[in-house]
Amino acid sequence: MAALGSPLRTFRGLLRELRHASGRPYRDTPAYQHIVATFRAHRVTSQKLCRAQQELHFQAATYLCLLRSVREHTALHREYHGKGERSPEEVAGLVGFRLPQQPGGKG
């Protein structure tokens, strides 16, 4: 199993993804308030060792992966989704080719 990294890095990543996903200030969203409250409730103090923190960290890292994947999928879909039929010249330009020119200036 891959290492999760630090909980702070995961927390900051979640906040970054919320900022990307939210059209309004993300600190006003219920998702932000829930994430902050949950991370605060499961932090390790000197008085206790919280086993649930590893569970929370794993769930948070999984949710972060989901948010990133959805954002990247949306960006790829927006860029490469079909826009109807394209001309042969446009398709050749997309893949980096040029169509040959016919002699006599035609084509």
What is the distance between the terminal CA atoms of the chain, rounded to a whole angstrom?
58
Instruction: Give domain status of residue 66, yes or no.
Output: yes
pLDDT per position as a tens digit, 30-40: 889 998 998 88
Give 16-34 pLDDT, tens digit per residue: 998 888 777 888 888 899 9
Domain count across the chain: 1
Which residues form the domain of 64? 7-80+88-95
- Round the average pLDDT of the chain to a whole number and report it: 82
Q: DSSP alpha helices (H): ranges in 22-103?
A: 30-41, 52-80, 88-94
**70 band by pLDDT with thresholds 50, 70 and 90:** very high
Question: How much of the chain exceeds pLDDT 90, in percent?
Answer: 21
Q: Is 27 within the bounds of a domain? A: yes
pTM of the model: 0.62
Q: Which secondary structure element, helix H or strand E, spans residue 28, and what is its range?
A: none
